[in-house]
Structure 1
């Protein structure tokens, strides 16, 4: 499905609709096949031991898949997560942003399914993988 929102419009919509996460995420790239989004890691994202916490990795996947869906369907704030699964595979690097590569596996009229592979910036080995399903409200 073709893009109906570009990077700047998506970022502005996220900031406006979800001010509680304003400045936390940045879109690195967006095309018809993939969205790459970054969690700008700060001390508030860390758990004891200096690694990014699981809830923050989950948030990165959730926000990334949500934005990939909106990039294709437009401003639908009430598209909501209905199912989520995340596998934590290794400890993220300390002092590095987290990068999520997002692919939509299915974009239907009512449901969308996406996948996020999360990496520490500068490392090719994934630290987590998430799969999420979203419900798209009727128009």
Structure 2
């Protein structure tokens, strides 16, 4: 069966369903769309050789096929965090002490400068006292 024949069958089937897109137009689909759906489902389902199955020479090509959904991202990230936390000692995940919390909050107060907010990482000293006022290479984020 040719791709054109499959396309005609799909068009007729979609026409019979009466499905419409957000603009109210008849829903359109191509046989190639099923490759994208397969790639997304295969990778989401843990099929690590999806690129090989699809005949792609590089993973970049397969990545372009994937539709990443917000709920999938959240589930994957939470799963990663759960596995990571299970591998670490429980005491690393204790509640901060009042002193630790004050230090953390104080850090953000100390980062405020007249040009905006200093971009240095948390708990790092400033080696460039007042350089952010004269050196454009020292990153600050505007406050507005």
Tell whether the structures are fold-level matches, with TM greater than 0.5.
Answer: no
Structure (1 or 2) with the greater helix fraction: 2
Instruction: Specify the TM-score bucket, using the shorter chain as the normaliser.
Output: under 0.3
Specify the structure having the higher radius of gyration (Cα). Answer: 2
